Amino acid sequence: MRTKLNVDRGVAGLTILLSLVTMLFIIGLLVMIFSLMGGELQDASYTISTATVTNETTRGINQTGYTLDNAGLFGFTNPSLVTAWYSNATGDNDSITSLATNITVTSAGVVRNATTFTWGSNMTLSYTYDYSENNSAVNVIRDTSTGIAGVTDWFPIFVVIGAMVVLILLTVIIITAIRGSGLMAGETA
């Protein structure tokens, strides 16, 4: 009884190549998942702190608005004006007592003048705000996410190594086929 061997012709190294492509896809998928999870963990791990700024000199406040200097900080929220001072032409400091009716501040830190009067660059503000502060958990998560995301730098190396393995397999199969065909005379050493 003869058994038929399952010999696939013309697919030398195809299984290795498919395995390589599948491996790269799975690694890429895992890197993406872990990077997204790390980003979410990082955002959830910040410590909320409150800061006070005293006597910030403005560059003028009108109805268009003046953006507070610290409004660009990460996690800047809940700004609240404490005092506003204006030096008038005689050099006397006038406190603007009715902040609620004369000056408003948005959640983005834009201070607007609710009246038609424009205060010049001699306006001084004191305010408080909350911001997100780094802590050791955030730093560890950031380092881990960066390290995991660095895995994709190795993808070209995996592709080159996989291509080399496929080429070596093809070379071995070609040499074996040539020897088995009888084209080479039996040489003795």
The reply to whether 90 falls in a domain is yes
User: What's residue 116's pLDDT?
Assistant: 63
Q: In what order do the strands lie in the sheet with 66-67?
A: 66-67, 110-113, 103-105
Q: How many structural domains is the chain composed of?
A: 1
The answer to whether residue 187 sits within a structural domain is no
The pTM of the whole model exceeds 0.85: no
Whole-angstrom Cα distance, residue 71 to residue 51? 12
At residue 187, the pLDDT reads: 57
Domain membership of residue 81 (yes or no) is yes
In a domain, 37, yes or no: yes
Residue by residue, pLDDT tens for the chain (189 residues) are: 566 655 555 555 667 777 777 888 888 888 888 888 887 877 777 777 888 888 787 766 666 777 888 888 777 888 888 877 766 555 555 555 455 567 778 888 888 877 666 666 667 788 888 887 777 887 888 888 888 878 778 888 888 888 888 788 878 878 887 777 777 665 555
Q: Quote the Cα angle for 119-121-122, to 5°.
A: 80
Domain range for 99 is 32-173
Contact 109, 76 (CB under 8 A): yes
**What's the distance, CA 30 to chain centroid?**
16
Assess if residue 6 is contained within a domain: no
Structural domain contains residue 130: yes
- 165 phi, psi to nearest 5 deg: -65, -45
**Residue 5 resides in a domain:** no
